[in-house]
Amino acid sequence: MRKYNRGWRKRPRYTGTTNRLTQNYACYPRNPYIAVVAEKPKAAEKIAYALGKGVKCRYKGIPYWSIQIDGRRIFVVPSAGHLFGPYSPKRGFPVYEFEWRPIFEFDRRASHLKKFYDLMKYILPNASLYINACDYDIEGSVIGYTIIYYLGDPSRYKRMKFSSLSPTELRRAFERLELPDISLVEAGMARHEIDWIWGINVSRALMHAARKFTGQRIILSAGRVQSPTIVEAARRWKEINLAVPTPEFSLVLECLHHNISFKAYPHGWRPQSKEEAISIVSYLKKNPVLSVSNVESNKIPVSPPPAFNLGDLQKEAARLYKFSPMKTQKLAEDLYLEALISYPRTNSQKLPPTINYRNIIARLTKSEYYGSLAKKILSENPVLKPVQGRKDDPAHPAIHPTGVIPKYLDTDHRKIYDLIVRRFLAAFAPRAVISRTKAELIDKHGRKYSAKGVTVIEEGWYQYYPYLRPKEEELPLLRTREIVRVTKASYRTNWARSVPDLSRTALLKWMESVNIGTEATRARIIEVLFSRGYLESRGGKTVVTELGESIAEIISTLFPELSRPDLTRDMEQKLELVRRGVLTRRKVVEETKSIMDSLIRNFNERLEDVGYRISIALGAVRPDITCMLCRKPAKVRNGIALCEDHHEALLRLEKALPEISRKLGVEEGRAVKSIAKLRGKAGKWVIEVASNWDLIRTRRRRLVNQ
């Protein structure tokens, strides 16, 4: 028999819990019991404490809650997002056969999910009823259903539907359990399977072509929604760098009437050259009077904006605070998990009558920041009827506060919470009224000028949501044929260019406009492009990297269907039909396989050419001829070796030069030197061509002389 040292005591067997009530088996899953699956630990905690005073247990360090209600044992167990995903052990491409497996088994980055999986495996198998209490959207439905399907019994499945984590709404959702949301689950699983088929086959095809030509393993990836987005970003990047600005001349007149100063600007015309601008300024200094030819004044009622959906909130936070869409989404999700706001990943701008507005606003009267505003709404609006927006979402209403008063919020969370509360209150406020006055003035040569004034007459909803309040401009009382004195006249040279915006918010707006991705996934997809090195932030601006340009070019050339939003948009529409029960998941997935099979066949026919193009684009192979201004592959035209980008910049600059020279009143050589100094205004490639203008001209002359 083995001997032990004196004083040694055998440790009690680890049960996975640290609570004293473990002795009473409160944390032990004994039949019968109900298993409630939540999406995250914090959500599980909110659900547990809303349903009753429970016992907090732990299994392998992961918390779960045990509750006793009317003699029924209920376990609330958290996930950490998706625990299952599509997987195939098959190598190479094309690959279409897959199965749903625990993600931690095939993705090293998801090793933390194993403990959550083990917890589910410990609790779920013997439950008498399963309740999916994940967020009520496509992703939440898939998360909860796959856990119950693979570790429990989907025949005993119910759904909790709620739009906020407030105790009242959670209790009501638990008391009114709904039937399984199978159509939502089917749409969600179809989305994952389609994205998996696209992503794995396109990525493997690109990597195979590069490896076959170079012998190197180069990591490349592409996705169904990411691909058209990076192609659009690259298109915008090209237009930004190919921009040739033209000089525009603006006049500003400072006027005085009845001791009130105001500004006037040319109306319907502008100086067409620098010489003309100087001439007009000189004239006005010698003849500093204008005559009032017409005055119009209108009172305009302005309706309040609707409550936010996620896209509107992301755009407003970007406008006011420069927050990225993903940051705004993350902050809003934090507020939701604290039960301060309703579910943020919604497309709705509507507040349905089922929400108890009066109760929410009454609770806000106790807020230090919004109490007076909430009291004003209740006193002035006996019938609380909010303004409604156009967009709707069948799953969730517009984002609104729950009425729970936060104890502490840091600066960024406070900013998002402030926007949501104020926008919600503004939806119940009366219309604002503004006065717009426009005066038309003329000089002795008949040139027209205009001056505008804006005044807020009735504050209305502006006092609740001041972030859209117009800037007031005072204009004196002007009458027709009165004389106004010009105290100062000046002109400015503006280098105007028309280029698309390339920012996270601009890409988000584009994705919304072409209807690709969802309100819940768009911001995350944009961040994926940054994490993969396709996009970068430099000096506060978004730029497309060389790798991003290369990937966009490769996808556009080899997978044109994937580069355009049409295919992705069409697939989104079919997924919506799956959600409605019109199409089956299997049919949509089989159609995806057919499309991919056709693309792969075309790809294989051009494998050698593809490999060469990829290798050059990624710098794995040095091209025979390189651009004289950069290291990209080039063609020799008129004795000059330029890449496609710098060649296009040269063509655009040559086309615009005569007009630029005329407006500036200088020869073309001096005009080019002016453009070369316009950093931040002219396109990068145009500046590089302009900076090397003399060298380009010299090489051309040599070719002509030869």
Give the residue numbers marked as catalytic.
Answer: 343
Which strands form 157-159's sheet, in the order they lie side by side?
A: 55-59, 62-69, 72-78, 33-38, 129-132, 157-159
C-beta separation of 378 from 358 below 8 A: yes
CA distances from 677 to 503, 681, 686, 689 (A): 24, 9, 11, 12
Say how far apart CA 338 and CA 41 lie, in whole Å: 12
CA distances from 181 to 131, 159, 581 (A): 11, 7, 11
Say how far apart CA 145 and CA 150 lie, in whole Å: 9
Say how far apart CA 282 and CA 275 lie, in whole Å: 11
Residues near 467 by beta carbon (within 8 Å), at least 6 away in sequence: 316, 320, 419, 422
Q: Could you tell me how many residues make up the chain?
A: 706
Q: Which 8-state DSSP code applies to residue 430?
A: P
Pairing label, strands 62-69, 246-257: unpaired
Say how far apart CA 433 and CA 637 lie, in whole Å: 62
Q: Is the peptide bond before 466 cis (omega within 30 degrees of 0)?
A: no
Say how far apart CA 231 and CA 564 lie, in whole Å: 8
Q: What is the largest CA-CA distance in the chain?
A: 119
Helices 167-175/41-51 angle, 10° precision: 80
- One-letter amino acid identity for 637? R
Q: Which 8-state DSSP code applies to residue 626?
A: B
- Given the structure tokens 């199409």, which residue do they identify? 583
Say how far apart CA 169 and CA 179 lie, in whole Å: 18
C-beta separation of 96 from 193 below 8 A: no
Name the token pair of 211.
């490896």
Say how far apart CA 102 and CA 81 lie, in whole Å: 12
Say how far apart CA 578 and CA 592 lie, in whole Å: 14
CA distances from 450 to 269, 446, 486 (A): 11, 13, 13
Phi, psi of 241 (to 5 degrees): -80, -15
C-beta separation of 46 from 165 below 8 A: yes
Say how far apart CA 51 and CA 104 lie, in whole Å: 32
For every residue of 446-512, DSSP letters joined together read: --EEEEEEEEEEE-GGGGT-GGGPPPPB------TT-EEEEEEEEEEEEEE------SHHHHHHHHH
C-beta neighbour count of 359 within 10 angstroms: 12
Say how far apart CA 73 and CA 55 lie, in whole Å: 11
C-beta separation of 222 from 528 below 8 A: no
Residues near 629 by beta carbon (within 8 Å), at least 6 away in sequence: 642, 643, 646, 685, 688, 689, 692
Conformational region of residue 403, where left means phi above 0, alpha means psi within -120 to 50, and beta covers everything else:
left
Question: 3-state DSSP call for residue 112?
Answer: coil
Rg (CA), the chain: 32
